[in-house]
Amino acid sequence: MKKSMFVCFILVALLASPLFAQGGGESASPKIGFMGPMTGDYANYGVRSNNSVIMAVEQFNAKGGFGGKVPVVLVSEDSEGNVEKGLSAIEKLSSADQIVGMIGPVLTGTSFAVGERVQSEGIVMISPSATHADITSIGDYVFRTVVSDGLQGEVAGNYFYSELGYRNIGVLYAKNDYSQGLYEGMTAAFEAAGGKVTIAESFQVGDKDFKTQLTKIRSANPEAIYIPNYTAEMAQILEQATQLGMDIPFLSCDGFSNPEIYDLAGDFTDGVIYVGPAKVKESPAYSDFVAQYEAKFGVGPDSFATNAYDGANILLQAMDKVYRETGKFNRAAIRDAVAATKDYPGVAGTINFAENGDLIAYQGLYKVNGTTPEYLGSYTVVDGVLTKVD
């Protein structure tokens, strides 16, 4: 009896140990994490992205898992779009769940805070949507499957000046890392090209009334207004601008690529021009992904969800490679395998990472006709000059 109890205690200790949880034994099921806003104003981004990771994990396990025999476990955490909640979530994911990799966070501000933690603990993180130029500067465990604001801002500023012909514009941005980063990047490029941001108004995250800022911008008489914000905020801005009788072009960012904008503000989106993910030739893989996503969740994926799906599959591929070679799920080896990703055939196009963890990609330009985005082409900036790729 005593011997049986001793054996049970040993098994419990092994199961609870970090070595076992991270794949020290062949029968261990490793855990990966997802973090994003599942509730609150930005829940549309988090829920759609989490759906993609759920789908990727289910498909991977249906094929047998790692080495054809070990399934992966997904642990999803709601950051609520809040830095403090994000830090609490990564504490749980790291210490209690002992994840070996993570998709997310979704929002930029949370990604800065969580990125510091995963870097210090050696947990690879792939964000589908944290675009601030400095995110990947945190360290070599931080990657993203979305284009950096550095390129988005450059393309936006140069396109607004050289292709749209604007010489002075106004800006209405939120006081958060994402919005402010885009504002600063676009402004630097636009003014370097010869334009001028004649007025820039800001607001606090969570604000619902933008009429005071819009009235000030109207008084400055800019040729267009740039709103680099999230969906809910942009929907309210567009509606309130119409209520104020403002007849002025609006320009935006990749946040406008979320189709929910048309549910929230479909009467006010006509004519908006925005910078978003470059459009890739529709492949059977992309068509299958969209069809499966819609069938499973009853709604179509946005660009964040597409990026999350590719990120999840890249992480799972890296983990599978490490497991097949070593029989374990070593965090450092998984990071190295993610970094070594070469010409990955993602549903959003071919994926390669730069040495700093950035996605190597282009930016797309779109013009909304009613509630239908028209693709205007893919662009990049070479030596300060806007260059059309296709």
Summarised one tens digit per residue, pLDDT across range 67-89 is 999 999 999 999 998 999 999 99
The dihedral built from the CA positions of residue 162, 165, 169 and 171, taken in this order, carries a sign that is negative
* DSSP tag of 176: S
Strands 349-351 and 344-346: antiparallel
Position 280 scores a pLDDT of: 75
User: Radius of gyration (Cα) for the chain, nearest Å?
Assistant: 22
| Residue range(s) occupied by CATH 3.40.50.2300 in the chain | 2-147+282-351, 150-277+363-388
Q: For the full predicted model, state whether its pTM sits above 0.85.
A: no
The Cβ of residue 206 has, within 10 Å, a number of other Cβ atoms equal to 11
Contacts of 341 (CB under 8 A, 6+ apart): 314, 317, 318, 351, 352, 353
Q: How many CA atoms lie within 13 Å of 105's alpha carbon, on the beta-carbon side?
A: 35
Quick check: helix, strand or coil at residue 30? coil
Position 5 scores a pLDDT of: 34
Position 28 scores a pLDDT of: 75
Contacts of 175 (CB under 8 A, 6+ apart): 202, 203, 204, 205
Task: Please calculate the CA angle 250-367-53 and round it to the nearest 5 degrees.
Answer: 100
2-147+282-351 to CATH, choices 3.40.50.2300, 3.40.50.620, 3.30.1950.10, 3.30.750.24: 3.40.50.2300
DSSP E strand boundaries for 72-215: 73-78, 101-103, 124-127, 142-144, 168-174, 196-203
How far is the C-alpha of 187 from the C-alpha of 42, rounded, in Å?
25
Do 156 and 148 contact (CB within 8 A), yes or no? Answer: no
The pair of three-digit structure tokens given for residue 116, joined into one six-digit string: 């510091």
In which residue are the tokens 């070479």 written?
382
In which residue are the tokens 């792939």 written?
126
Position 136 scores a pLDDT of: 95
Burial of 139 (0-12, 13-18, 19+ CB in 10 A): middle
How far is the C-alpha of 74 from the C-alpha of 77, rounded, in Å?
10
Distances (CA, A) of 348 to 128, 277, 278, 279, 289: 12, 9, 9, 8, 10
Compute CA 25 distance to the chain's CA centroid, rounded to the nearest angstrom: 33
Examine residue 259 and say whether the peptide bond preceding it is cis (omega within 30 degrees of 0): no
Position 234 scores a pLDDT of: 97
Compute CA 213 distance to the chain's CA centroid, rounded to the nearest angstrom: 28
Q: For the chain, which ranges sit under pLDDT 70?
A: 1-27
- CATH code, 150-277+363-388: 3.40.50.2300
Position 193 scores a pLDDT of: 96
